[in-house]
Structure 1
Amino acid sequence: MRLLIIILVLISIPCRAANPPESQQFVLFVGNSLTYVGNTPAVFDALAAANGKSVESDMIVQGGATLAQRVNDGSVARALETKRYDAVVLQERGGDLLCSFGPACCLESRKAIKSLASLAADSGTKAYLLGSYQGNPSASQALVSAESAAAVEAGISYLEVSEKLQVLRSTPQEFAWTDPDGVHPGPGIALLNAAVLYQALAGTAPVPSTFTVNAPIYEATSGLTESVRGAADPPPLTTTPASVTYPEELVHIVVDALPVPAGS
């Protein structure tokens, strides 16, 4: 009888299951040297991890590549058929949406963004257009206008970078915004890219803290091709730096440049 009472008491005690761990997210970056120099995908993964989120990013990137090339070679379509991604991040070659290579490149770029956005939607994946940047203030404004219009036309979210960078360039800090070549992303821009994307996916800005990216920190000469590659996969060139540490002070500076989400 005593045993029966004990069993009944145990059954009546509510079961408190531990909170399940947050599910891992998978992100696909599609772009060019603006995407891989400084390894924005790996910086994004590390920033997410520093904020308690599990993210694993892949990338289809090649120096000087356009989004139209990725439509034509079918590489993005194959990647979306092979793996279930939570987000696809598109970044166009610098200047294409400003018709820097002639009026045809603008049309091709907008068409490619729409095509890739459609592929993402068909696979149940949300697409984003990650902006590029211009140093000249008037060119920056024109670029943001063109990128925003292309995103609206494709029905996807636009992640603006150039105007934020205009403000950040005047902020004294230890890390360079651009690469020593003055064109490609330095650690600062890679972090800005990652923070803008983090806020879009998480719905809130990342909490500033020091974090280390243990992944290839690609330079302009990378050896990368349009094949799908994990952000932390071993690099083709053994001379590629293997890590970078972002101090909390720099993360603070970048996070402070992010807009406050509506409703906050």
Structure 2
Amino acid sequence: MLSRLFWLPIALALGLHGCSGDPTEPTLEDPDLTVMFVGNSLTYTNNLPGLVETVAEAAGYAVETISIAGPNYGLGDHWVTGTPRTIREQRPDVVVLQQGPSTLAESRAYLVEWTDSLARVAREVGADPALLMVWPPDDPDYSFGAVYASYLAAAEAVGGTFIPAGMAWVEVRKSDGTLALYGPDGFHPDPLGSVVAAMTIVETLFEGSVRDLPPNMTPSRRNPDIRMPPATLETLVGAVQRAVERYARR
């Protein structure tokens, strides 16, 4: 896992883009949850797993993350490159599954199929499978609704948790359209977009946890440092709470 400091005013510094193809190792002695991320560049851009640890710690929880993410990976790619073995070896509490937006019928079918395969492995070791809804490209030809439908279908097919990060983005944009969630390429997240996703993950796993987050979140370990104006935090907290209340499945 790659970690760097992020300073988050309304205009955010660029985060680190990198790949974590080799699984990161857990280090906490007694975490509240160990969460394994299985995804692609939407997970490793800005170090989403590290942001989850930072947000969780600020909310009073100890979360250990393990990350397996490769560029352009779908869940089927993970199946053939050893991720099932890593799940069995690491025995996490939650396995968070993520690929691209999956808005087309064939990509939705692919998402559902490989979610089922990986969810079976997760449950072998007592882990709960969770689907992390992402977002479409910043293009009117793509819709958040189609991403939502695909990821919800995959979660429901396995009786898994549904984490509505993409819908939290929608709620943020409704509240304040000036906040940048997309990065320069119009697809990968700006650091603030990754923070919204991290907050949504934590709120879904620990209901009510983001309510009292401070605007400055400084982790005790080598994870991203999150700072933003109180007004921005208020916008994000409200958006995440609405999205989780309306769309999450646990």
TM over 0.5: yes
- Asked if 1:42 is matched to 2:24, the reply is no
* Residue matched to 1:249: 231
Instruction: In structure 1, list runs of 5 or more residues that go unmatched.
Output: 1-20, 216-230, 233-241
* Residue matched to 1:209: 214
Contact 1:137 1:166 in 2 (8 A): no
Q: Deviations over 1:67-91 (max 9, x none)?
A: 111112222x222222231111111
Contact 1:161 1:193 in 2 (8 A): yes
**What amino acid does structure 1 have at the position aligned with 2:114?**
A
- For 1:97-108, what aligned pairs fall within 5 Å after superposition? 97-99=102-104, 104-108=106-110
Mark the CA change 1:246 to 1:144 in structure 2 (over 3 Å): closer, same or farther.
Answer: same
- TM-superposed CA distance for 1:178, in Å, is 1.5
**What TM-score, normalized by structure 1, do the two folds share?**
0.71
- TM-superposed CA distance for 1:128, in Å, is 0.6
* Residue matched to 2:3: none
* Residue matched to 2:132: 130
- TM-superposed CA distance for 1:214, in Å, is 6.5
Match of 1:152 among 150, 156, 176: 156
- TM-superposed CA distance for 1:205, in Å, is 3.4
* Residue matched to 2:68: 60
Percent of pairs with identical residues? 24
**What amino acid does structure 2 have at the position aligned with 1:115?**
S
Instruction: In structure 2, list runs of 5 or more residues that go unmatched.
Output: 1-28
CA distance in 2, matches of 1:114, 1:197: 21
CA distance in 2, matches of 1:213, 1:30: 26
CA distance in 1, matches of 2:196, 2:59: 16
- TM-superposed CA distance for 1:130, in Å, is 0.4
- Asked if 1:88 is matched to 2:95, the reply is yes
CA distance in 1, matches of 2:50, 2:231: 20
- For 1:164-175, what aligned pairs fall within 5 Å after superposition? 164-172=168-176
Contact 1:204 1:261 in 2 (8 A): no
- TM-superposed CA distance for 1:167, in Å, is 3.0
**What amino acid does structure 1 have at the position aligned with 2:204?**
A
Aligned length: 212
CA distance in 2, matches of 1:47, 1:174: 23
CA distance in 1, matches of 2:218, 2:118: 29
- For 1:176-255, what aligned pairs fall within 5 Å after superposition? 176-206=180-210, 207-212=212-217, 243-247=224-228, 248-255=230-237
SS at match of 2:143: helix
- TM-superposed CA distance for 1:244, in Å, is 4.5
* Residue matched to 1:26: 34
Contact 2:108 2:150 in 1 (8 A): no
Q: Deviations over 1:183-220 (max 9, x none)?
A: 101122211111111112112231221234669xxxxx
- TM-superposed CA distance for 1:151, in Å, is 1.2
Mark the CA change 1:137 to 1:156 in structure 2 (over 3 Å): closer, same or farther.
Answer: farther
- TM-superposed CA distance for 1:25, in Å, is 2.1
* Residue matched to 2:11: none
Contact 1:33 1:61 in 2 (8 A): yes
Q: Which moved more, 1:251-260 or 1:27-36?
A: 251-260
* Residue matched to 1:79: 86
Instruction: Calculate the aligned-residue CA RMSD, in Å.
Output: 2.8
**What amino acid does structure 1 have at the position aligned with 2:108?**
C
- TM-superposed CA distance for 1:170, in Å, is 4.5
CA distance in 2, matches of 1:173, 1:163: 14
Q: Deviations over 1:103-156 (max 9, x none)?
A: 544332211011111111111011110001124497211221122112111221
CA distance in 1, matches of 2:50, 2:216: 12
CA distance in 1, matches of 2:236, 2:226: 15
- TM-superposed CA distance for 1:180, in Å, is 2.0
SS at match of 1:80: helix
